[in-house]
Amino acid sequence: MFKPTKCARCGGSLESKTITHQQPWGGELYEFESVPALVCSQCGEVWLEAEVGQLIDKIIQQHPQPKRYHQVPVFSLADFSLSEQ
């Protein structure tokens, strides 16, 4: 299978890395650890191979027991003024 070596966004070099990936789905946010990805060394853009994305979708749809949960506070910048800095 062909693996790109150049970033389609900026032309930088793509490097194989293992990342933590967050995937929004409906009103939920799912986090996946140990995800193989191509990451641009210049702009940081992340590229997942199709089979990795399909596996993530399948896991979300099957609702298996997650490894763990953690809470994340959510803020809307619309509620704050930039002059409050």
- pLDDT at position 9: 94
Domains of the chain: 14-84 (3.10.20)
How would you write the pLDDT of the chain (85 residues) with one tens digit per residue?
668 899 999 999 999 999 999 999 998 899 999 999 999 999 999 999 999 999 999 999 999 999 999 888 888 888 998 775 5
DSSP letter string over the chain? Answer: -----B-TTT-PBEEEEEEEEEEEETTEEEEEEEEEEEEETTT--EE--HHHHHHHHHHHHH-PPPS---------GGGS-GGG-
Residues in the chain: 85
DSSP letter string over 60-79? Answer: HHH-PPPS---------GGG
